Chains A and B, each alone.
Chain A
Amino acid sequence: MSSDDETPTADGGTASQSEAVEDGQSEEHPLEWDEPENNDKAPDERASVSHRTEKYDDRKLVTGQAKYTADYEEQYPDLAYAAVVRSDIPHGRVTDIDTSEAEAMDGVDAVLTPESDAVPDAKYTSAGQSYPEPSPWDMHVLNEHVRYIGDPIAAVAAENRATASAAAEAIEVSYEEDDYVTDPEEAFDDDAPQLFEDGEVENEIVGHDYDRNRMAHIGGELGDVDAALDGETHVHETEWETIRQSHANVEKHTSLAYTNEDDRHVLITSTQVPNHTRRQLAHLFDIPIRDIRVQKPRVGGGFGGKQAMVVEPIPLSLSLATDRPVLYEASREEEFYAMRSRHPMKVKAKTAVTDDGDIEAIDIYALSNTGAYGSHGMTVAGNVGSKPLPLYSKVPNARFEADIVHTNTPQTGAMRGYGAPQGTLALEGHLDEVARDLGLDPIEFRRRHHMEVGDLDEIAGMMGGEGANRRIRSCGLDECIERGKDAIGYDDLEQPDEDHLHRGIGMALSAQGTGVAGDELGAAQIMMNEDGSFHLQVGGVDIGTGADTAFLQIAAEVLGCDEDDIIVKSSDTDVTPFDYGAYASSTTYISGMAVKKAAEDAKARILDWGSKLLGEPVEALETGDGTVYSEASSDSVTLEDIGYEAAYGDDEREHILGKGSHCTEESPPPFAAQFADVTVDETTGEFEVHKLVVAVDCGVAINPGMAEGQIEGANHMSYEMAVSEGITLDDEGRAEVADFDEYGLPPATETPPIESILVETHEPTGPFGAKSVAEVPTNTVPPALSNAVRDAVGVRVREMPITAEKIKAQLDERNP
């Protein structure tokens, strides 16, 4: 579809297999890493990391004391509540908004339309990303040109929720309707309705062609794929389709705004990206960054849905208009049609494979439906190729291209896995099929090709410029496969007694990144109290993953104290240092490394004081068990004594402080091997998934209990992608789901047991050897289940979700 289009990529993307790569080294990307001495601790030397430390906030959470955004309600007796009027046509212009009835209602404080003074006019993107933002500025807070059913048009504030909703309903909107398009392939047609005029969008993205509703086109190539496809090989091609998945965070998007006594604008908000939100609000409202404070309380799940400034401008506009604090809590229905979702995609995979089973070339093309606006459109599509392809980075020729198109459908955005689930389905499903067609064992086939320690991943360079190649310094794929096979019982699978039932096992590999190479920053500071305890202030954002606990464990490991002796304060832009936020699997790696550096910095001061008090040189001292001790003399002094001495002692008093910032060019991939065990009924297509096993190499798990939880939750989300319809739309692009029952998240009884296996490796660039864990197991169930069904009954479902009807239809086709 796009092969004749030019392919603008950040770099022409033809990095070659240089000699340096062949001998396993290159100066720019060496295998050896200059690792700090104390970063690689043997398991029995670890006092705090890799222990199952109790989660920092758990006692508050299980007793219902922890505060999420909506729980601040009672602190603001003057609080007003927001409701939003949204477009109920897929495409058109608002010609009139009649607010008279709403304004006349008792208890209504403000009604805002795109014309109102308090409503910013600037264009922006809701995507909460680095700056300059890699998403187009294509939307307004309130819109006159509406592009999907759900586009915000007007907002009200009222003294209670019911009045706010009633007032919103009383507002009459008149439209001039335009033609609309909801199918991403049709959106390319010459006569398709156009969502944006050329030149209308600011900060536009590479490869855009708004005449054809194309927001971006990206791609890159290694070697010569066409030549390989024309060679003496088997060429296979398959096409895959994924669902529009909802984040379904149980806490809805919620945000509370007010202006405080210092004339500063405060947002208490359920976000993954406090600092990006502050910057975006400053841009929109033309307020200096310093005058905005974003506070993140407990967050009830984000999964990427809150890596976006989805709701914050509404309560801020309303609070500016009313001079009252305003709370906006999206409804559950709005969550499904007007917040964000995973980009639904069609992905084509093509390979050239020799008779002997050598893969000569891989060619992936993705068509991504970004919906009405382009938030995260290009970057998510980029990951369709750049995350899974490195698994097979030994393959000499590789190409990836993607078109990202607008349709009049709800907005998409970041979601856990971030393009990797779509790409992993296509690649891992495709390779499985190729192996079976060639009569090869699909697992052995993968083993022959998958990435290993020492490999240079040139796919990252293919997408981001040659300098972005990365060296693989830790890889536990073989152990993941081995232990996963054992756990699922791959070698001694028993078939059911009934003839019409067939059991099969499918597997899939996955790789992700850890943070965005060269494009993130985390920072932290640590203050020592005079009783020897610490305050850790960190910009890193805990959205329910347990990040605060991981930070504590990292700090405690360095400082040699108990985790209980550290108070953590994360994510309040007035108090905590800068951080890019919780996304891209970066929190433990980037923010955690900042914490480690801050702790090392504080430790250096502590050792100085220890040296003074013990009369021994700093080099002879170490921290541990709440003390500074000397192995040579067996003398020690407690941290409490040091804290006291530093604050109240006789000479040269000092507040012991440590600070650390971290950014890096590295983004080491974590790896996973997924297994699914399924029985399919050949007569009906019905299937039962007995068990999911996923083995993950996340380096050193800072807290194994939390890491398992992340893996199992991610795998459940991945399972949903394989078996649920997601957010279905009618012909006009209207979401057909309004609540959890209609959405069909697999509940406890319909979720197979999930076994998580931690495979420990050591990533020298990560804090104490850690890589990421939260995303990689989100990618693998759709291909593993598709592969398992193929293994059981020989038919292949490529269009998610996998249903009995689809299996049955193919069985019928095979045996008419």
Chain B
Amino acid sequence: MDIELTINGERTTVEAGSADDLATVLRQHGHIGVKCGCDGGTCGASKVFVDGDVRMACGMAAVDADGSEIQTVAALGTQDDLHPVQQAFVDNFAVQCGFCIPGMVIQAVALLDSNPDPTEREVREALDDNVCRCTGYQKPVEAVLDAAERMRGAQSVAADGGHSATVPPNGNESTRCCGGGCDE
């Protein structure tokens, strides 16, 4: 059947069988920022926003998304103008192979939208179903805490959405958290 989706701001009509999951359909339409690392629901790589909620696209029937607004990681920022969360991942060396990163970034953005000042524990809890084999979570957690700080800073001093203006020249040196020793 034909379903209507608004993907990253663009309205499209796509064909989807009743057995097709949303991840497959999005990928077939070129949205390769939706990754598939498992066969459903256990890695978090396929996370997208569906009407503002984080969903694992692999675990959702495409037909159930009919009429929805979808955002993939590609909607958050461009290579020249990264979202503060994306920028923080880059500046903190939180990206290795990068396969899990779209899902992580989506989850981190969702967290900071609802909780702009999370503790390290809260960040870890938010990322708990995002499997990353490369990083040991240390730098991703630091990146999310760093992004939170940047976004709070941006809110208080800038009206431009915080894109890059508040990024320190050497984000890494100045923005490490406690060095891994916090245990709240």
Specify which chain A residues have a CB less than 8 angstroms from the CB of B76 in the assembled complex. Answer: 63
Indicate if B55 sits at the interface (CB-CB under 8 A).
no
Interfacial chain A residues near B172, Cβ < 8 Å: 52, 705
Tell whether, in the assembled complex, residue A546 and residue B124 are in contact, meaning their CB atoms are under 8 Å apart.
no
Would A709 and B180 count as touching, CB distance under 8 A?
no
Taking a contact as CB atoms under 8 Å apart, the answer to whether A73 and B79 are in contact is: no
Give every chain A residue within 8 A of B139 (Cβ-Cβ): 708-709, 712
The answer to whether the Cβ of A716 comes within 8 Å of any Cβ in the partner chain is yes
Selected from A62, A74, A303, A716, the residue in CB contact (under 8 A) with B98 is: A62
Given contacts A61-B95, A64-B74, contact A250 B132 (CB under 8 A): yes
A195 interface hit (Cβ, 8 Å): no
The reply on B114 being an interface residue by CB < 8 A is: no
B21 to chain A, nearest CB (A): 11
The chain A residue sitting closest to B43, CB to CB, is: A740
Q: A65 touching B33 by the CB < 8 A rule?
A: yes
- Tell me if A503 is interfacial: C-beta within 8 Å of chain B: no
CB distance from A152 to the nearest CB of B (A): 19
Interchain CB contact under 8 A, A63 and B73: yes
Report chain A residues within 8 Å CB of B136: 712-717, 719, 751, 754
Chain A residues, CB < 8 A from B82: 59, 62-63
- Nearest B-chain residue to A706, judged by Cβ: B93
Q: With CB as the reference atom, state the residue of chain B lying closest to A66.
A: B98
CA of A756 to CA of B91 in the docked complex: distance in angstroms?
17
Tell me which residues across on chain B come within 8 A of A61, comparing CB atoms.
95, 98, 101
- Check A815 for interface membership: any CB of B closer than 8 A: no
**Residues 31-69 of chain A, each 1 if its beta carbon lies under 8 Å from chain B, else 0:** 000000000000000000000101101111111111110
B37 touches A544 (CB 8 A): no
Instruction: Enumerate chain A residues within 8 angstroms of B72, measured Cβ to Cβ.
Output: 64
Closest to A60 in B: B79
Binds B, one of A132-140, A311-319, A358-366, A742-750: A742-750
Asked if A128 is at the interface (CB within 8 A of a chain B CB), the reply is no
Are A751 and B137 closer than 8 Å at their CB atoms?
Answer: yes
User: Interface on chain A toward B: helix, strand, loop, or mixed SS?
Assistant: mixed
Q: In the complex, which residues of chain A have a beta carbon less than 8 angstroms from the beta carbon of B137? A: 716, 747-748, 751
Give A82 Cβ to nearest chain B Cβ, in Å. Answer: 15
Q: Contact at A251–B43, with CB atoms within 8 Å?
A: no
Q: Tell yes or no: B159 within 8 A of A by CB.
A: no
Q: A544–B97 Cα gap in the complex (Å)?
A: 3
| Structural contact, A250 and B96, CB atoms closer than 8 A | no
**Assuming A300-B37, A748-B137, is B98 touching A65 (CB within 8 A)?**
no
Could you mark each residue 88-103 of chain B with 1 if its beta carbon is under 8 Å from any beta carbon of chain A, else 0?
0111111111111110
Is the pair B131, A250 in contact by a Cβ cutoff of 8 Å? Answer: yes
Q: Which residue of B lies closest to A546 (CB)?
A: B96
The complex places the Cα of A690 from the Cα of B89 at a distance, in Å, of 25
Binary contact track A684-723/B, C-beta < 8 Å → 1, others 0 = 0000001100000000000001101110111111010000
Give the nearest-CB partner of B85 in chain A: A62
A62 in complex: contacting residue of B90, B121, B129, B135, CB < 8 Å: B90
A713 near B73 with CB under 8 A, answer: no
Task: Encode B31-58 as 1/0 by CB contact (under 8 A) with A.
Answer: 1111111111011010000000000000
A544 vs B138: C-alpha distance when bound (angstroms): 16
Distance A57 CA – B89 CA, assembled complex (angstroms): 12
Q: Please tell me if A493 contacts chain B, counting CB pairs below 8 Å.
A: no
| A753 located at the interface, meaning its Cβ lies under 8 Å from any Cβ of chain B in the complex | yes
B165 at the interface (CB under 8 A from A): no
Q: Which of A73, A247, A300, A739 is in CB contact (< 8 Å) with B38?
A: A739
Asked if A298 is at the interface of the complex by the 8 Å CB criterion, the answer is yes
| A747-B131 contact, Cβ under 8 Å, with A250-B45, A713-B136 | yes
Q: Is the CB of B129 within 8 A of A55?
A: no
Given A298-B98, A544-B97, A708-B93, A63–B86 Cβ distance below 8 Å?
yes
Q: Mark B51-89, 1 if CB is under 8 A from A, else 0.
A: 000000000000000000000111011110010001001
Residue numbers in A under 8 Å from B89 (CB-CB)? 58, 62
A68 touches B33 (CB 8 A): no
| B9 contacts partner chain A, Cβ-Cβ < 8 Å | no
User: Please, how many angstroms separate the alpha-carbon atoms of A740 and B38 in the complex?
Assistant: 8
Closest to B45 in A: A250
**Which of B43, B136, B140 has the largest number of chain A CB atoms within 10 A?**
B136
A406 → chain B closest CB, angstroms: 28
With contacts A62-B90, A250-B100 taken as known, whether A70 is within 8 angstroms of B36 at the C-beta atoms is yes
CA distance A68 to B98 in the complex (A): 10
Q: Taking CB as reference atom, which chain A residue is nearest B76?
A: A63
With a cutoff of 8 Å between Cβ atoms, the chain B residues found around residue A745 in the complex are 131, 133
Residue of B whose beta carbon sits closest to that of A714: B136
| Residue among B40, B94, B96, B124 making CB contact with A544, cutoff 8 Å | B96
| Chain A residue, CB-CB nearest to B140 | A748
Cα–Cα distance between A67 and B134 once the two chains are bound (Å): 18
Contact residue among A303, A713, A749 (Cβ-Cβ distance under 8 Å from B124): A749
Q: Are B42 and A741 interface neighbours, CB within 8 A?
A: yes
Query: Given A62-B98, A544-B99, A753-B183, are A301 and B133 also a contact pair (CB < 8 Å)?
Result: yes
Measured in the bound complex, the distance between the Cα atoms of B138 and A717 in whole Å is 13
Shortest CB distance B180–A (Å)? 4
Contact of A545 with B by CB under 8 A: yes
With both chains docked as a complex, state the minimum distance between the C-beta of B9 and any C-beta of chain A, in angstroms.
15
Cα distance A23–B170 in the bound complex, in angstroms: 47
Contact between chains at A755 and B96 (CB < 8 Å): no
With A55-B90, A709-B135 as contacts: A251 and B95 at CB distance below 8 Å: no
The answer to whether the Cβ of B1 comes within 8 Å of any Cβ in the partner chain is: no
Question: Could you say which of B79, B128, B181 contacts A691, with CB atoms under 8 Å apart?
Answer: B181
- The answer to whether A250 touches B73, judged by C-beta atoms less than 8 angstroms apart, is no
**Contact of A299 with B by CB under 8 A:** yes
Q: A250 and B99 in contact (CB under 8 A), knowing A748-B128, A749-B124, A753-B138? A: yes
Between A55, A300, A546, A748, the greatest number of chain B beta carbons within 10 A of the residue's beta carbon is seen for A748
In the bound complex, residues from chain A placing their C-beta under 8 Å from that of B33 are 63-65
Docked CA distance A58–B131 (Å) = 19
A331 within 8 A of B: yes
Can you list, as one digit per residue, whether each of B128-161 has a CB less than 8 Å from chain A (1) or not (0)? 1111111111111100000000000000000000
Known: A250-B131, A740-B43. 8 other contacts (CB 8 A): A62-B98, A64-B72, A66-B98, A300-B35, A712-B136, A716-B138, A740-B131, A747-B131
Q: List 7 A-B contacts (CB under 8 A).
A: A250-B99, A712-B135, A717-B136, A747-B127, A747-B128, A749-B124, A754-B180
Nearest 5 interchain pairs by C-beta:
A64-B33, A544-B97, A716-B136, A300-B99, A61-B98
